[in-house]
Structure 1
Amino acid sequence: MVAEITAPKSMGKVLGYNFSKVTAGNASVILTSSMSVDANGETNVERALADMEMRIPSGIRTKKTVFHCSLNPHPDDRLTTDQLQDIARKYMEKMGYGKQPYIVFKHNDIAREHIHIVSLRVDSYGKKLPYKFEARRSKRITDELERKYGLIPSGNRRSRHETHAENVLKTADVKQGDVRRQIAAVVRAVLKRYAFRSLGEMNLLLARYHIVAEEVRKEYKGKRYDGLVYAITDDAGEKRMIPLHAGKTGRGTGYAALVRHFEKSKALIKEKAPMLRNAIIEVMQSSPDKERFSEEMKKRGIDVHIRPNEQGRIYGITFISDEAGIAANGSRLGKGYSAHVFNDYFLGGENPFLDYSRQEIRELPTVRSAPEMLPEAETGDDCYDEPVGTDESGIIVHGIDYKELAFQRKLRNRRHKQDITGKRRT
């Protein structure tokens, strides 16, 4: 997790930038501390700005009173809103801003959600909060939070990305040798990037890389032992090797780890499920056939896996969103999204998604709005009105616009040189 701290001069610009994202549906306020809210527990840019300005005593000498920080988890880290709230709260407490008024925004206008925190650098008496070694203290805190929440360390960002590109995204092949390494790399990547709650959902993800996992149960002296085995498969899904026990693929890939992952996935699937439900309802408005349904869902970034039996009856349906990082059977989205419902419809039954009076269909949560399903490319995550220079690469890494940061550094260095030159002349 990378933290970027700035000290803008204008509180209005910082709040205006973040609330403009809220208005556009690309951000939301997830936490406020020591700030007023309306009857619905919400705030807006005018109220937040008034709260902040009211806390700044008149006549203070501090010029930059604004604290602005963005906390950027690794793209492979999947965090719920509650977890992001806890991270923001603990970060501010450890930085010495726990008693300060602050507001936390969750941004989801790029591939990975991150948060922005806006606060004040002076207390109610006008005294500036400790700022020496700010970056060093921040790094120490984010390292602690990474360990506590099991996040990918920011220091390993580049090496992990290269490993992911070179190993994880490659289809496993017994001819390549070192099957343990191949299996372990894929399994760990799937566990890290996706939330799911069954072995079947996991196997749909592993099948992309020609790997299958199977549960084994043995009984010894009246006690049952549960475990997992993995195997590399061919294009048809047939095993190409003797199954390998999970204990031989390293830590974090065994039965106990999988059970923990199922439990951990509950909250994330619950939060992301509304996006899947909204997409399904939108596609079903045109009463598509089976092929058309899968095609339209694919356009929305969602893979549909339909499993029929020998008689052609659909007994299972699973939805996978790489963007949201979830794989969920239809029944997890609600009774109205189960395989039974789709089976009846595709066999010529009525379209149940056109009847909004049905309780299991009409409950449309508001966790994510439709425009956020396919986020547009980030245009710059800064909160300044001044134009910035651009190069041909246009790269934004780990949710941070490094061109903007470089530009701001250049301006600071230029002003610093001017100040030194001016002092020498006098």
Structure 2
Amino acid sequence: MFDIQEIRSQFTILNREVNGKPLVYLDNAATSQKPDSVLKVWNDYYTELNANVHRGIHTLSQLATEEMELSRRKIQKFINAKHDFEVIFTKGTTEGLNLIAYILTQKLKKDDEIIISYLEHHSNIVPWQLLCERTGAKLRVIPIDENGILQLDYLDDFLSEKTKIVSVNQVSNALGIVNPIEEIIAKTRKNSNAYIVIDGAQSAPHFEIDVQQMDCDFFVFSGHKMYAPMGTGILYGKQEILEELPPFHGGGEMIATCSFDGTTYAGLPFKYEAGTPNVGGNIALGAAVDFIESTGRQNIQNHENALLDYAQRQLLELENIKIYGEKAKRTGVVSFNLEGVGISSDVGMILDKMGIAVRTGHHCTQPIMDFFNIAGTVRASFAVYNTFEEIDSLVEGVKKAQRMLS
């Protein structure tokens, strides 16, 4: 039974006002709000369990370790990883992608090729550019059409024995477009031996993830976009690949033995978890998984898709509205501009005065904005606690912006 008011009651922050108006929070692609159950778990760690993990025989250390490893197992199940030690705790998607790009350095040489797409967040562009600078490899980019849809015929042309990495997002943060990663992975497996990296920052909060069925080599996502604290994230990697590749950071926890003559490295997952982790955050990430599972991933997906459909229909009834990616398969995001009226930040400021939080600008996807020859968009992005009434408020706010800016 999906009860939107019961769900909203679990998020205390939704009761607050902004500029004297009830908060309408539509910036979930940037970060989601956190349910009270997640905040309680985070707080309980610091008030009842606070200790370092894996390093102490005393009670608090043992209890903290048990809770963090329980969270790892919850996440393993959440993404259907084969082993819990294939689940690496990180600070977020950006760190995960940089980690992968660093440890793959030794696998590339001059004139090898890395394939990404036009729809990537900067965090899935810049690490690969840096890798190209280190190795002499070349970057190739799958283009998009006027609807923001990837042109996969180019992928067929790009793939060769030179292809060493293919890295794409499952869902575009700027446009909400759902990319056909199953087809991308199948084409890559057929035509190259490349490592396949999937950026799941915008997909993990919205629908079911199965990394074994997907058959990717790496999958990364952030906790803070799926109801968990900031500074949390996950890197999934296949066991045989992670065991073969070198560490990322050196320090405590990631060693088996250490002497001045040399060091040997710990087994997975600790090989990639140097230093003191974000224990409270990692435990709370497990609580966020509990919230998603108890709400039901299909319920979340159905509700958010209904919000998106409603928002798009209502906005398109207005004059001079341009929705980017309108004809593409999308989830969770409507990205638009008022044609001939102001700039996206002007619209965002007017909406903010009405208590409506949206994101404006280039959304860390400047190549997409360059493709459409715009500086940025207004992006409204949805979570399970948003309502149709909030969409109505957004539409009324856009109408007001049109009147004020015309």
What TM-score results when the alignment is normalised by the length of structure 1?
0.28
Structure with larger RCO (C-alpha < 8 A, sep 6+): 2
**Higher Cα radius of gyration:** 1
